[in-house]
């Protein structure tokens, strides 16, 4: 009979033993409720099939136009890369770079890293440089935003329908399929099974078992948990410069300078939040004059034109979410600095939500990208991105960095000190 493996929760650091799960079941932390692992039958086969399908359709999606706009016989079409290029040629290179990275580079990197890992494992071999592939996958996942792009396209189509006849392109449907396949691949992918095949755990790899309730956490037991592969490692006298023996990632009891780095990103986002909502994100020139649109005026336009569901979505994603995310992060950081033990499980859940919804604020950036690329009828109307778009894009990126910098295990450290 094999001994159950000891693992630590990545959100509260509680030490627990792995337990066998029923088909499709999920194991959650006994203290904070975070997902620890899932039982994924045929994980490698399913994830590889979904990812191969996604990468093929992704190539199709970037080779054909997303949508076309027809006005008096003139047809203007754009691909995703062409839309980013239009922004770049207008001098809006920060937004062009952000769109290109989050919709082309990172999704492609995610798919290629998964194929690089899964294909050799499916063939019964160990992939070379698998540590690097896992690291790139870990890096790309938060920034691959195909699902947000799809919603941005739908909002843009509603606005474009008022201007001229909209002709959906092959790329629009291909991106929709990529979104579904990527979600299925991410759901089927089980890094635990991959690591079990690459480097099976041995008895010598087992960390020491904590002797009392005072060492119920990994840090309390002198153990370091790897955030990339989940392996527990013994901490020596010096924890500086320690790396995971399995994947090579840097190990720390807590994220380095978590509080100060989170505050820096939050304050930068607060400074830029005002110009992001006050300055125009789009400048529209037509036969009837010019008009400057802010994020809020775009919401009002959708509402008054009868597209109130989309108006609510844009308001929530582009105005409410960034503001609430900033407030939530401030609340979490302050409560940690005050060493509060109040509602720790609820605060961890707030952090989880902040991490989940932050990417959806990119919605307005993608809407602007499509509109700028398509509305280029010099005799009738043109649309250009405004300075507010750069500020808003910076707010989205900064709040995402703030959430990544914050260590949720700090929420539970006050209780450990009180019991210590």
pLDDT at residue 23, as a whole number: 80
Sheet of strand 376-377, all strands in order from the earlier edge strand to the far edge: 289-293, 282-286, 381-385, 376-377
pLDDT in tens, 133-153: 999 999 999 999 999 999 888
Please, which pLDDT band fits residue 203 given cuts at 50, 70 and 90? very low
pLDDT at residue 193, as a whole number: 87
Q: In b/e form, how buried is each residue of 244-263, taking b as 16+ CB within 10 angstroms?
A: bebbebebbbebeebbebbb
pLDDT at residue 201, as a whole number: 58
Please, which pLDDT band fits residue 275 given cuts at 50, 70 and 90? very high
Please, which pLDDT band fits residue 269 given cuts at 50, 70 and 90? very high
pLDDT at residue 295, as a whole number: 81
pLDDT at residue 248, as a whole number: 81
In this predicted structure, which of 1-5, 168-172, 198-202, 216-220 has the lowest mean pLDDT?
Answer: 1-5
Please, which pLDDT band fits residue 4 given cuts at 50, 70 and 90? low
pLDDT at residue 1, as a whole number: 34
Distances (CA, A) of 224 to 8, 110, 252, 253, 378: 9, 27, 6, 6, 61
pLDDT at residue 402, as a whole number: 95
Calpha distance 387→283 (Å, rounded)? 10
pLDDT at residue 317, as a whole number: 80
Please, which pLDDT band fits residue 184 given cuts at 50, 70 and 90? very high
What mean pLDDT comes out for the span 195-206?
68
For the chain, the average pLDDT equals: 84
- The pTM (predicted TM-score) of the whole model is 0.88
Does residue 223 surpass a pLDDT of 50? yes
Q: How far is CA 290 from the centre of its chain?
A: 36
3-state SS assignment for residue 17: strand
pLDDT at residue 211, as a whole number: 47
Does residue 127 surpass a pLDDT of 80? yes
Calpha distance 264→258 (Å, rounded)? 10
Vertex 340: Cα angle to 339 and 344 (nearest 5): 120
* DSSP letter for each residue of 168-183: E-HHHHHHHHHHHHHH
Question: Which comes out higher in pLDDT, residue 159 or 180?
Answer: 180
Does residue 83 surpass a pLDDT of 70? yes
Sheet of strand 165-168, all strands in order from the earlier edge strand to the far edge: 74-78, 67-71, 165-168
pLDDT at residue 215, as a whole number: 53
Domain ranges of the chain: 6-39+200-234, 42-199+246-251, 255-420
Other C-beta atoms within 10 Å of 196: how many?
11
Number of alpha carbons in the 13 Å side-chain half-sphere of residue 178: 27
Question: Which comes out higher in pLDDT, residue 363 or 288?
Answer: 363
Could you tell me which CATH class the domain 255-420 is placed in?
mainly alpha
CB 276, CB 379: distance < 8 Å: no
**Alpha-carbon torsion (160, 162, 165, 170), positive or negative:** positive
Does residue 350 surpass a pLDDT of 60? yes
In this predicted structure, which of 75-84, 288-297, 329-338 has the lowest mean pLDDT?
Answer: 288-297
What mean pLDDT comes out for the span 159-183?
86
What mean pLDDT comes out for the span 270-283?
88
Nearest CA among 203, 202, 239, 209 for reference residue 224:
239
In this predicted structure, which of 80-89, 106-115, 395-404 has the lowest mean pLDDT?
Answer: 80-89
pLDDT in tens, 20-77: 888 878 889 988 888 888 888 889 999 999 999 999 999 999 999 888 877 766 777 8
pLDDT at residue 2, as a whole number: 44
pLDDT at residue 213, as a whole number: 43
pLDDT at residue 3, as a whole number: 52
What mean pLDDT comes out for the span 293-301?
80
CB 45, CB 248: distance < 8 Å: no
What percent of the chain shows pLDDT beyond 70?
89
pLDDT at residue 111, as a whole number: 95
């Amino acid at each position: 009979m094999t001994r159950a493996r000891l693992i630590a929760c990545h959100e509260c650091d509680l030490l627990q033993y792995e337990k066998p799960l029923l088909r499709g079941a999920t194991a959650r932390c006994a203290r904070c409720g975070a997902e620890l692992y899932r039982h994924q039958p045929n994980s490698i086969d399913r994830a590889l099939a979904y990812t191969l399908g996604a990468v093929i359709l992704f190539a199709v999606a970037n080779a054909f136009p997303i949508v076309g706009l027809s006005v008096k016989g003139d047809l203007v079409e754009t691909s995703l890369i062409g839309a980013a290029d239009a922004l770049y040629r207008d001098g809006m290179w920060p937004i062009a770079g952000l769109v290109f990275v989050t919709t082309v580079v990172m999704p492609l990197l995610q798919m290629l890293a998964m194929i690089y890992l899964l294909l050799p494992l499916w063939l019964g071999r160990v992939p070379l440089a698998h540590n690097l592939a896992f690291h790139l996958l870990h890096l790309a996942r938060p920034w691959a935003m195909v699902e947000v792009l799809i919603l941005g396209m739908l909002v843009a189509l509603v606005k474009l329908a008022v201007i001229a006849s909209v002709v959906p392109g092959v790329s629009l449907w291909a991106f929709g399929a990529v979104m579904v396949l990527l979600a299925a691949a991410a759901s089927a992918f089980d890094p635990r099974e991959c690591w079990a095949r690459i480097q099976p755990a041995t008895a010598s790899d087992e960390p020491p078992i904590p002797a009392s309730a005072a060492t119920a956490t990994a840090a309390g037991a002198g153990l370091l948990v790897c955030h990339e592969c989940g392996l527990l490692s013994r901490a020596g006298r010096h924890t500086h410069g320690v790396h995971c023996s399995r994947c090579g990632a840097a190990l720390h009891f807590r994220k380095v300078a978590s509080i100060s780095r989170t505050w820096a990103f939050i304050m930068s986002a607060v400074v830029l939040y005002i110009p992001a909502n006050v300055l125009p994100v789009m400048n529209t020139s037509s036969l009837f004059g010019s008009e400057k649109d802010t994020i809020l005026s775009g919401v009002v336009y959708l509402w008054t034109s009868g597209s109130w569901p989309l108006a609510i979505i844009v308001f929530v994603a582009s105005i409410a979410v960034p503001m609430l995310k900033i407030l939530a992060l401030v609340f979490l950081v302050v409560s940690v600095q005050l060493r509060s033990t109040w509602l720790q499980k609820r605060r961890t859940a707030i952090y989880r939500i902040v991490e989940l919804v932050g990417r959806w604020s990119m919605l307005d950036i993608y809407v602007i990208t499509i509109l700028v690329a398509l509305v280029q009828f010099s005799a009738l109307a043109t649309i250009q991105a405004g300075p507010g778009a750069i500020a808003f894009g910076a707010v989205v990126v900064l709040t995402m960095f703030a959430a990544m910098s914050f260590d949720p295990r700090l929420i539970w450290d006050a209780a450990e000190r009180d019991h210590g």
